[in-house]
A and B are shown apart, each in its own frame.
Chain A
Amino acid sequence: MTSDSRTARVAVVTGAAGWLGQNLVRALAGHRERVRCLVHDAEQAPLLEIVAPSIETVVGDVRDPATVDRLFDAIGPAAVFNAAGVIHPGGRTRELFDVNVGGAQLVLDRARRTGVTRFVHVSSNSPFGANATPNQRFTEDSPYNPYLAYGESKMEAEQLVQRSYDRGDLATVIIRAPWFYGPFQPERQTRFFSAVRRGMFPIPGAGTNCRSLAYTGNLVHGLLCAEVADGAAGGAYWVADAEPYELREVIQGVRVALEAEGLPVSQRQPHLPALAGTVAAALDRVLQDRGLYVQGLHVLGELKDTIACDISRARADLGYEPATGLVDGMRASVRWCLERGARI
């Protein structure tokens, strides 16, 4: 792990109890004097603090200015990793903007006033929608084309971060991560594993559409590179596994990983007509226009698309090199579940 002279001795992590945050905090814990973590629920605090004495927690909501004040209280020079965000809101899309945009604004503002050395912001593929053709890859030059409310919220957050850099407030780096996988996964990912294991996860169409995925370990490496890379400030980078996978390859990778970890797997692969994805996406759009969010529709609507990126620039500018591939990463995820007794 990088801990050269350029890394800040203090790190601030928002979204620290989330999927990515848990992985990032563990990577930082042994290498920094202090890791100040924002967690949403009081119960998450001891579960993070147990990791190392360097970890400090602040409990509260990133939308609350007083909470964000406490997060930066007497922190001194630090690197900030802004990983707080809502992907699947509970019923209404408003939360996406409140947290992903409003929260980012608060964190940027407090970071500016604290003397932050670098501000690494976690973004998404969603501000860019889907690739126009199956062979196209998103690059850092691709234009914004946000997909529904989540995509719009993440785009607006990117724009806030970029403006903060343009004004000379902060040395920012935006990291765009696609669909990720890895330890500390939420229950929805465990349900995904279960569905694949039981042969009940449907692929819309042939499943030959490409998706970029990011193993959490790779992504953490990318974030740490972004903290120290010379000349990266003001930039935005795609960070993912080395190459995109076809959707059917992803499903097969999960199967192989489950079997390798000793779990028998059904070889059944149900297919949905490609139209199902299109209908789901259309319904999702109608509902989101009315501020409503239904997770299942949203996921199914996106499953048919090619959402793939080219990581060349992160390799060149950040020194990013993804070390883990699909099966190894999925195996680590399955082991993480089994170690905690999760039912897959």
Chain B
Amino acid sequence: MGRSILVTGGSGYFGEILAGDAVANGDRVRIFDINPPAATAPGVEYVHGDVRDRDAVRAACDGVDVVLHNVAQVPLARDRELFRSVNVVGTANLLVAARDAGVSKVVHTSSSAVFGIPESNPVTEETPCRPLEAYGRAKLEAEVLCREAVASGLDVTVIRPRTILGHGRLGIFGVLFEFVADGAPVYVLGPGDNRYQFVHTADLADACLRAAGREGPSVYNIGTTEFGTMRDTLQALVDHAGTGSEVRSLPVAPAAAAMRVLATVGMAPFAPYHWLLYGRSLWFDVTRARTELGWEPTRSNASMIIESYDWFLAHRDEVESSPRSHHQSAVRPGLLRILKRLR
């Protein structure tokens, strides 16, 4: 007899895959999301609702053993008020409802953005959080709420993923993949020698489901163990693509300034998170997840960016039409198309 699991944000990029993996594990799954899932698998119940609506959240938690909380406005939303109302207050709504409903475990999906640019790497669960932008601050506030919920009797585990890749992942990567597919150059900030770690959707889902089965509150940093520099990762991608696309460097300060300006006037799909962190090293020590959860990452940076790219190629025509969440949609490249012509 499987657990009854509520997946909030279960129609989003990661939530949908997580819900599917939970079903495959034999769990009964209820999806709570403002959008319906693309396809409702057998054994999945969809509850429409907004995490800002307390009554809706309360109803969704009824009769649930475990909540996997993934609702969030992602950096691309660039809306401080939404970061607060959805990521902070929405999390409080969920935690209070889960506690009142007698939920035995909540797994809260946080973000590596809570760390900002770390003073040193690797980043452990004990590294001080110093977020640099509104999204990271809101995700950190949500973590504080998780700790308060733990103190008030709820079992909450926090998962902090590195940047997520996998089939179906688009968002900002949609622009990158389009450049590569069309043989245009792709860019790193500065030399691109910053060590940048990704995590595969399937590995992250595995970590969440393992955390859901482990009693007692904890925090886990989650990322692949096979990764190199940003340039290495993109090089592996262009080598695989064989489209003539090559990796070029952009000077850090002017590029970051240009990203900021273009984003501010709405002409390029960037958020502060991107220009602050894309050129910086940030990687997790995942020892705690390995020892406490028995979790092992199965994909490298290179294999997952290639997988994501191949999925993009296979689905390029569809993704331009259907309205989905930020990370499931191709963002509009805006003025970046000019860069694309600089062959």
Contacts and interface: CB of A to CB of B under 8 A. Distances in A.
Interface string A318-344: 000000000000000000001111100
A46 B148 contact: no
B89 interface: yes
A316 interface: no
A53 B137 contact: no
Interface in A37-60: 43, 45-47, 49-53
Interface string A12-45: 0000000000000000000000000000000101
Contacts, number: 50
B89 A43 contact: yes
Contact of A46 (B93, B114, B128, B137): B93
B85 interface: yes
Interface in B107-158: 114, 128-131, 136-137, 140-141, 144-145, 148-149, 151-153
A51 B54 contact: no
Contact of B100 (A43, A53, A338, A340): A53
A43 B130 CA distance: 25
A214 B84 CA distance: 30
By secondary structure, the B interface counts as: helix
Interface residues on A, range: 10 to 19
Contacts of A53: 99-100, 152-153
A225 B88 CA distance: 34
A49 B152 CA distance: 10
B326 to A, nearest CB: 22
A122 B153 CA distance: 31
B144 A340 contact: yes
A339 B129 CA distance: 7
B181 interface: no
A340 B89 contact: no
By secondary structure, the A interface counts as: loop
A43 B129 contact: no
Most B C-beta atoms less than 10 A away, residue of A50, A52, A53, A338: A50
Contact of A47 (B89, B100, B140): B89
Contact of A340 (B92, B96, B137, B149): B137
B95 interface: yes
23 contacts: A43-B85, A46-B93, A46-B96, A47-B88, A47-B92, A47-B145, A49-B92, A49-B96, A50-B92, A50-B148, A50-B152, A51-B152, A52-B152, A53-B153, A339-B129, A340-B140, A340-B141, A340-B144, A341-B114, A341-B129, A341-B131, A341-B136, A342-B137
Interface of B: 54, 84-85, 88-89, 92-93, 95-96, 99-100, 114, 128-131, 136-137, 140-141, 144-145, 148-149, 151-153
Given A50-B99, A53-B152, A340-B137, 6 more contacts: A50-B92, A53-B99, A53-B153, A338-B128, A338-B130, A341-B136
